[in-house]
Structure 1
Amino acid sequence: MNLAIDVGNTRVKTAVFHGDNLIEVTIFPVEKIISEIKFITKKYTLNDAIISSVAFISEKKLEKLRKILVLLEVSSAMKLPFHNLYKTPKTLGADRIALIAAATKSFPNKNVLVIDAGTCITFDFLDKNNNYFGGAISLGIEMRFKALHKFTKKLPLLEKKLLDNFIGQNTQESINSGVVNGVIQEIEGVIGQHKKKYLDLTIVLTGGDTNFLSKQLKSSIFANQNFLLEGLNGLFIFNKNK
Structure 2
Amino acid sequence: MILVIDVGNTRIKAAVFEGATLFEIFVFSKIELQKNIQNILKNFENITDIVVSSVGDVEKQSFLEYNNGLNVHFLSHEDFFPFHNSYATPKTLGIDRMVLAAGATFRFPNQNRLVIDAGTCITYDFIDDKNNYLGGAIAPGLRLRYESLHNFTAKLPLLSLESPKDLIGTSTSESIHSGVVNGFVYEIDGFIDEYKARYSNFIIILTGGDTDFLAKRLKNTIFANSNFLLESLNQTFQYKIKND
Q: TM-score range by the shorter chain?
A: over 0.9
1:96 maps to 2:90: no
After superposition, the C-alpha distances for 1:195-218 in whole angstroms (9 at most, x for unaligned) are 000122100100000000011111
1:26 — aligned with what? 26
1:166 to 1:68, Cα distance in 2 relative to 1, 3 A: farther
**How do 1:80-229 and structure 2 match up within 5 A?**
80-229=81-230
Determine the C-alpha separation between the residues in 1 that align with 2:179 and 2:66.
42
Q: Secondary structure at the match of 1:66?
A: coil
TM-score between both structures, scaled by the size of structure 1: 0.97
Q: How far is the alpha carbon of 1:43 from its aligned partner?
A: 1.4
Q: How far apart, in 2, do the equivalents of 1:65 and 1:11 lie?
A: 21
1:162 is matched by which residue type in structure 2? S
C-alpha contact 1:111 1:202 (8 A) present in aligned 2:
yes
Is 1:44 aligned to residue 44 of structure 2? yes
Secondary structure of the residue that 1:145 maps to in structure 2?
Answer: helix
Identity %: 50
Unaligned runs of 5+ in 1: none
Give the secondary structure class of the aligned counterpart of 2:72. Answer: strand
Residue pair 2:30, 2:58 contacting (<8 A) in 1 also: no
The number of equivalent residue pairs is 242
Report the Cα distance in structure 1 between the residues aligned to 2:87 and 2:66, rounded to whole angstroms.
30
User: Does structure 2 conserve the Cα–Cα contact (< 8 Å) formed by 1:2 and 1:18?
Assistant: yes
The alignment partner of 2:65 has SS state of helix
Instruction: Measure, in 1, the Cα distance between the counterparts of 2:50 and 2:201.
Output: 35
For the 8 Å contact 1:34–1:65, the answer to whether it is kept is no
- Tell whether the 8 Å contact from 1:41 to 1:47 is kept in structure 2 after alignment: no
Q: Which runs of 4+ in 1 moved over 2 A?
A: 62-69
> Which AA in structure 2 matches 1:151?
F
Residue 65 of structure 1 deviates from its aligned partner by 4.1
> Gaps spanning 5+ residues in structure 2: where?
none
